[in-house]
Structure 1
């Protein structure tokens, strides 16, 4: 059994990036130099503006909070295996944040002088760090030097595996769209639009003499420098820069950076004396790099069928897995994946609309509810949605509703095709109960508020997290205002809503043991959603509604807003914000690992550290439930 300190350090580090990319001998050598640091709760690791230490840090046990000096707002919390304090050492600058032990913590201090040579030698380590810093826009350390680790370009993040992808030939477009020097700019613009291309090759005697890009039209025509009736010769870039076919990814990137251009013209021998064989754009390079949010977003918007979108969604899941593997902060991950989810839904709606026999008879709004409405639907879970359409005369109501029910059915079918399961409770816009005009929705929500039985509270909990994904936002805003007006006139509703938030059982029993399912399909599994996530989500909802705050649906962001509104409870609310992200991240990891929703956890498959991370959130769950029980006098409701 291993018992030396350095061996135990190596055994821990090998489970976390970037150390998991090291060879065993390298890690053993580095571990000998590691210093173990113990920090009591609320003690400083380093202060803002302090000169960088000779070490950066990895959390072994406990947690470290990062914040601005003098601010109580926690910007990030580093958990077991997280790396922090590295950027200032590499950039040779002072610390931009204050690091303080969030609880009793053990840190491994890694000497930069021993680590840096390994990172320079090991491409996987360097790429991990570049990806982390370049992607972590929420991290103030990365703003000034984003993508410039060791002076390297951010384009270095193309490596998604051990293969040397930058030395592979890159695919390019052979479908050339060309014109002559005398072709009118208006004709060129129409042709580019028709063929959905970003550039036009100008030829003379079948040889390339110039190129016109979208940028040329924006800068030279849209600004009034040249009229739209001018010829291609006036705005084309010439002489043209050409390259031979067979370029590698690395050569393509360097060629574009060298000449500060976004398109490469490829000819038979690389000169303007031979015919053009293809054009390579920055987009082609991004596609070759791999899963990238900008590439995926563009692909989503170009998709013309749900089947095509389904393939793209596999890329989104790969992107999500990559972000989690690199320990990118979940707040940033959620925003990116939510944007891609919303874009996918919008494209499904547009595809469905294009297949309808008629245009919508009135304005409408598509509401995404539940986890998608909160911006927390990282996995392909089931769909919860609704339609609001404009009020119409009574005699037109059912005809209008029939149109939107048919549209809702087509959209729900499309969402199912791309990976979002049908709601088992049929809470979808294809159901008449979830497709109403604005006045009807006001009446429905007023009924829920004034008659808050168990069913009404459940429906409110799902519906009140809605977010506008498509259509007229004004309809949703008017409904939101109506909900707040009714709720404020009937404060007892908040008590019932709080009572509903307390229905979910505690996540732990005596001695902080996990409470597992006692029977059924998931016997002996831990229900992460019901016992840990939902209590925190439900509490955030009732608290934010009681403050009449709209347009903040995300659970973590709701708690951050509550921390501003109630400074006396700031510490608890920020702990809830952290716990909600930690639990969502854990569920997402489990879902990706087992290819399911991540809801039910097999405890015997978790290691000790994973169990510790989960249990750390349980105290927060109990504390927030105690707060809403007292705040909304739930016990009085039961008398």
Structure 2
């Protein structure tokens, strides 16, 4: 077999790379570096060695273990093909090796660089959650948790590992229960899940929860088995129902989830079910890195929860800077978190107001548009919507002005303050149709008074945050065309 064929075969058989689409797997082949070991040697030492990437074992063995104070090996594990080492260390332990590794003679591995691994985690949630779930399972092992929660790197991190053993369920925000009757048709249950934006619906029979259905339930029990969508949802539901007291600690919840193999846990308070937890959400609460923190932001629902996330961003950034991460990378983390929060607010507003009456794009401008977001950046945004017939224009404009005001107000409540210069979508001057925006840019270019120069510079760095990409592409194409024209009055000072 050629080297590329070997690597592709390795990716197809090694978890979690095997869940990636084949086109993605093929794109990774040229990124992989081959490493061959001719003797036994300690290649990673826990808490000291930097992890340059994740290692996929092709031949041979990795012996992983912890070294105690007497340099004795503890929690020894032998790993062979197929196995991926390093993912948890890169994501959850500040890029330091979580365990020590002794490589055996004759071992061959292929290594994917750290930055490419991060990109995969960002793009594929199932791939990413493989490592957070694996970490959660390992933390249930007494010896593993003993060594993991001791290093300073974990104690210094935003969510200290020992919170798993002290934080109560009642102190985290769990999801409201969305339910339906046992006899509800499958397609109606799916509609309820879609409208409530949940991946789990609980099934009621005689005022009692008797099971639940998830996206995976619909895939495995309905589509894969070609079940008619008008059958009762109760006939394809999953169970048993597992619950836990709201006064229990997170460790108990994680332990119960893995012991019962359930991904959803009902929260009980005073004899009643008051909400539920998903395994992914529970594990994300233990996030040890900005990447996992961003995932927890994606799972947030209420404005209160989003504000809490934003309020804690300075702690994340202080950790990054304290670890020697340069300011540009820290800035990218702030931008990614801010973008995630803004998108959550936009989606929440659309859910409350109903579908937009026209295609649109919500764009961020100025420093946000350049991805130079700081913790003190105010709102800089605008809305462009597609041109509609005359009889629809007033209705469309009214929708987007109300939409813009709601988004702006919610962002302000979270901590993204109003722009003092008024350069934001809630200002009617910055929410317009595409043709109106084209005229705006044209006038700014042709009439270069100082005020227009400021407007042009602010909105030149526009970036699509949410919505139809074609609209902003058309605007940029128009702008490029206009800038090609000779204009003696247009100068950059």
TM tier, smaller: 0.5 to 0.7
User: Which runs of 5 or more structure 1 residues have no equivalent in the other structure?
Assistant: 1-46, 58-82, 95-111, 269-273, 501-639
Q: Deviations over 1:437-496 (max 9, x none)?
A: 3333323323444455655444332211101223433222111011111222338799x4
Distance 1:376 1:310 in 2: 20
CA RMSD of aligned residues (A): 5.6
8 Å CA contact retained: 2:383, 2:430: yes
Distance 1:365 1:316 in 2: 27
Distance 1:447 1:53 in 2: 69
8 Å CA contact retained: 2:281, 2:299: no
Distance 1:435 1:237 in 2: 47
Structure 1 residue matching 2:436: 3-state secondary structure: helix
Say whether 1:437 aligns with 2:437. no
Shift of residue 369, structure 1, vs aligned partner: 0.2
Aligned to 2:143: none
8 Å CA contact retained: 1:132, 1:328: no
Q: Deviations over 1:148-202 (max 9, x none)?
A: 89x9668759964667222236527697677786665346545656776544556
Aligned to 1:87: 51
Q: Deviations over 1:497-555 (max 9, x none)?
A: 3xx3xxxxxxxxxxxxxxxxxxxxxxxxxxxxxxxxxxxxxxxxxxxxxxxxxxxxxxx
Distance 1:400 1:129 in 2: 44
**Residues 298 and 167 (structure 1), Cα distance of their counterparts in 2 relative to 1, 3 Å cut:** closer
Q: Select the residue among 68, 93, 102 that pairs with 1:131.
A: 93
Aligned to 1:62: none
8 Å CA contact retained: 2:425, 2:431: yes
Larger Rg: 1
Structure 1 residue matching 2:95: 3-state secondary structure: helix
Structure 1 residue matching 2:220: 3-state secondary structure: helix
8 Å CA contact retained: 1:137, 1:143: no
Shift of residue 234, structure 1, vs aligned partner: 3.6
**Residues 220 and 84 (structure 1), Cα distance of their counterparts in 2 relative to 1, 3 Å cut:** same
Q: TM-score, with normalisation over the residues of structure 1?
A: 0.47
User: Which runs of 5 or more structure 2 residues have no equivalent in the other structure?
Assistant: 1-32, 59-65, 76-87, 98-112, 122-126, 140-147
8 Å CA contact retained: 2:285, 2:296: no
Distance 1:361 1:263 in 2: 36
Aligned to 1:219: 220
Q: Deviations over 1:575-628 (max 9, x none)?
A: xxxxxxxxxxxxxxxxxxxxxxxxxxxxxxxxxxxxxxxxxxxxxxxxxxxxxx
For residues 12-411 of structure 1, the aligned pairs below 5 Å read 86-87=50-51, 130-133=92-95, 138=115, 160=158, 164-168=162-166, 170-171=168-169, 184-186=185-187, 188-189=189-190, 198-200=199-201, 210-223=211-224, 225-232=226-233, 234-237=235-238, 240=240, 242=242, 245=245, 248-257=249-258, 260-264=261-265, 280-286=277-283, 288-289=285-286, 292-299=293-300, 302-303=301-302, 309-326=306-323, 334=331, 336-349=333-346, 363-391=359-387, 408-411=404-407
Distance 1:244 1:400 in 2: 47
Count of matched residue positions in the alignment of Structure 1 and Structure 2: 393
Distance 1:90 1:400 in 2: 50
8 Å CA contact retained: 2:202, 2:211: yes
Greater relative contact order structure (CA < 8 Å, 6+ sep): 2
**Residues 198 and 129 (structure 1), Cα distance of their counterparts in 2 relative to 1, 3 Å cut:** closer
Structure 2 residue matching 1:164: 3-state secondary structure: helix
Distance 1:329 1:482 in 2: 37
Shift of residue 384, structure 1, vs aligned partner: 2.0
Structure 2 residue matching 1:380: 3-state secondary structure: coil
Distance 2:422 2:272 in 1: 59
Aligned to 2:103: none
Distance 1:406 1:186 in 2: 33
Shift of residue 267, structure 1, vs aligned partner: 9.1
**Residues 226 and 402 (structure 1), Cα distance of their counterparts in 2 relative to 1, 3 Å cut:** closer
**Residues 330 and 253 (structure 1), Cα distance of their counterparts in 2 relative to 1, 3 Å cut:** farther
